[in-house]
Structure 1
Amino acid sequence: MKRLDPPAFNATQAIEVCASGISIHERAQALLDALPVIQASEAEYRELGPAGQLFQITESNIVTSQIDAVLMGVIYKAHFARKGSPSRALYEQIRMAPEYGICPLCAQRTVATVDHYLPQSRHPKLNLTPVNLVPACSDCNKNKLAGVPTRAEDQTLHPYFDDLGNDRWLVVEIQASSPPTISFAIRPAGAWNDVLIARVNYHFRVMGLGELYAAQAASEMADISYSLEDVGVSTGPVGVRQHLDGQFRSRYDRDANSWKTALYEGLRDSDWFCTEGYRMIRNRRP
């Protein structure tokens, strides 16, 4: 759930560059002839996107009388995104936009593809519209599928339009167990309205982020268990808390709402964990 700047090119540029690489003259011309329809759809998208109202865009399986959803899908795959095509560089600009190549939808896995925010099978007019193309990891792309929301609350977050701010909103709950049980939850920021709260929770659920982050947190704790026990032996619970606080501050400085920031904050603030839980992460080696 990371904010991204929209692509620096528009649908007109994408269509013109894509058409220049299509050797089938009739297909290239049909795509260029569709430009006014595609431009109008892009304008509607840019108007509704910032307001979180993309669900209002009407579905259609045609672009023009010459191009339907199937052909537009072929144009996207066989021409726009094809390696070696003139438009492949535009595709790569979108795919490589996130910092460190990390998927903006889960903020964890590596970008592997470009996802159509509004699915191409139901919105072929937006197949080559840059603001509808979002870099994503394979898992997020699959989790999102081709579903189309019918209300604002059932929309996943859009990296180009949705800004969750820098307030702390991803938190961890620690349950006393051996090993400690870690669960992630959403704590709505004060500036969020009811619709955004619903959308963040919907995104979190659809993308399976609670399970993903919990698995990563378990691995992270296994990695630090030895150092925590070493600190505990030397300085006791106070030292453990101070060590975790340093780890939290380092993660917070880079990303206020990464799962690691939430994890170290939760561990630091748990009296049980700082007193005894850190010794229950895994069985000690003899």
Structure 2
Amino acid sequence: MKHLDPPTFNVTQAIEVCASGITDPDRAQWLLDALPVVQASEAEYRELGPTGQLFEIVGSDAVTPQISATLMGEIYKRHFVRKGSPSRALYEQIRMAPEFGLCPLCAQRIVATVDHYLPQTRHPKLNLIPINLVPACSDCNKRKLAGVATRAEDQTLHPYFDNLGNERWLVIDIQATSPPTISFIVRPAAAWSDVLAARVQHHFRVMGLSELYAAQAASEMADISYSLDEVGASSGPTGIRQHLDVQFRSRYARDANSWKTALYEGLRDSVWFCTDGYRLIRTHLS
């Protein structure tokens, strides 16, 4: 759920560098001969990406008569990505782009791979197009699989094109249980279109972010439970609220829509939590 600047190189550079590392002269030449086809595909991608219309790109089973989908997959794995190849540095540039190495699709786990936003099995012409290559953690990569949307609302978010802005949109619901139960909810920002709102909800479901963030929130509350007990004993609900507000403002300054920002805002604004709920965190810890 993080916006990234797109790679600084284009598909022409990617193919030329990749071809330079292919020892089979026929395969290298076939790849270079495919340049006009993939350049046209890149131009279409750049046109449709900013408007959220990538689902309109028609799949194919080959790049050229010489390069099938299977062969293009081999070129990607055995040449473009291979350690020690001339193009490996381009792959690493994409993989290492996110701040702190965090996956832009979940903003939580560490990047482990590079994902084809439109899957390579159905879109071999896009296999080496840099703006179709997105850094991702293993879990997000597996959850996304090779699904292809047939309408705009069913597309997951694209880090290079989708920017959700800084308006607060991730919030929590607190249930008065022992320990407190936290649920994360997408509250569409006013600036979003209906389609973008549907896409964020879809992305949230596909990537399992509500469950992921809820688990992290439970751990976070366990970590702060002792300090909350101390603040509550000395300053009561007002002290609890002030303490949580400091935590919220610190997280908000870093990221307006992190799960921690949403958690501390929701805890701060809950009268029940600040009065009684914080005491119930430790019921399952003792």
Q: Given the two structures, how large is their TM-score scaled by the length of structure 1? A: 0.99
Question: SS in structure 2 opposite 1:74?
Answer: helix
Give distance in 1, aligned partners of 2:285 and 2:219. 17
Alignment partner of 1:236 is 2:209:
no
The aligned counterpart of 2:260 is 260
The aligned counterpart of 1:94 is 94
- Residue 39 of structure 1 aligns with an amino acid whose one-letter code is Q
The aligned counterpart of 2:127 is 127
The aligned counterpart of 1:279 is 279
Deviation at 1:284, TM superposition (A): 8.3
Change over 3 Å in CA distance of 1:275–1:15 after alignment to 2: same
Give distance in 2, aligned partners of 1:118 and 1:200. 17
Question: SS in structure 2 opposite 1:50?
Answer: helix
Give distance in 1, aligned partners of 2:233 and 2:285. 15
Q: Please give the residue correspondences for 1:15-94 in structure 2 after superposition, counting only pairs within 5 Å.
A: 15-94=15-94
Deviation at 1:283, TM superposition (A): 2.7
The aligned counterpart of 1:167 is 167
Question: Residues 47-81 of structure 1: CA distance to partner in whole angstroms, max 9, x if unpaired?
Answer: 00000000000010100000011000000000000
Question: SS in structure 2 opposite 1:163?
Answer: coil
- Residue 271 of structure 1 aligns with an amino acid whose one-letter code is V
Give distance in 2, aligned partners of 1:110 and 1:183. 23
Give distance in 2, aligned partners of 1:112 and 1:161. 21
Q: Deviating runs (4+, > 6 A) in structure 1?
A: none
Alignment partner of 1:106 is 2:96:
no
Give distance in 2, aligned partners of 1:83 and 1:280. 51
Deviation at 1:33, TM superposition (A): 0.3
Question: Residues 88-119 of structure 1: CA distance to partner in whole angstroms, max 9, x if unpaired?
Answer: 00000000000000000000000000000000
- Residue 102 of structure 2 aligns with an amino acid whose one-letter code is I
Identity of aligned residues (%): 80
- Gaps of at least 5 residues in structure 1 are none
Cα pair 2:179 2:284 within 8 Å, conserved: no
Question: SS in structure 2 opposite 1:214?
Answer: helix
Give distance in 2, aligned partners of 1:284 and 1:20. 60
Question: Residues 250-275 of structure 1: CA distance to partner in whole angstroms, max 9, x if unpaired?
Answer: 00000000000000000000000000
- Residue 182 of structure 1 aligns with an amino acid whose one-letter code is I
Deviation at 1:279, TM superposition (A): 0.5
Question: SS in structure 2 opposite 1:120?
Answer: coil
Question: SS in structure 2 opposite 1:39?
Answer: helix
Q: Please give the residue correspondences for 1:157-196 in structure 2 after superposition, counting only pairs within 5 Å.
A: 157-196=157-196
Deviation at 1:188, TM superposition (A): 0.5
Give distance in 1, aligned partners of 2:10 and 2:42. 8
Question: SS in structure 1 opposite 2:120?
Answer: coil
Give distance in 1, aligned partners of 2:112 and 2:128. 18
Give distance in 2, aligned partners of 1:285 and 1:254. 30
Give distance in 2, aligned partners of 1:212 and 1:246. 24
Give distance in 1, aligned partners of 2:57 and 2:134. 18
Deviation at 1:282, TM superposition (A): 1.6
Equivalenced residues, count: 286
Question: SS in structure 1 opposite 2:260?
Answer: helix
Deviation at 1:201, TM superposition (A): 0.2
Root-mean-square deviation over aligned CA pairs: 0.9
Give distance in 2, aligned partners of 1:283 and 1:137. 34
Q: Given the two structures, how large is their TM-score scaled by the length of structure 2? A: 0.99
Give distance in 2, aligned partners of 1:29 and 1:250. 55
Change over 3 Å in CA distance of 1:94–1:234 after alignment to 2: same
Question: SS in structure 1 opposite 2:232?
Answer: helix
The aligned counterpart of 1:202 is 202
Change over 3 Å in CA distance of 1:71–1:201 after alignment to 2: same
- Residue 254 of structure 2 aligns with an amino acid whose one-letter code is R
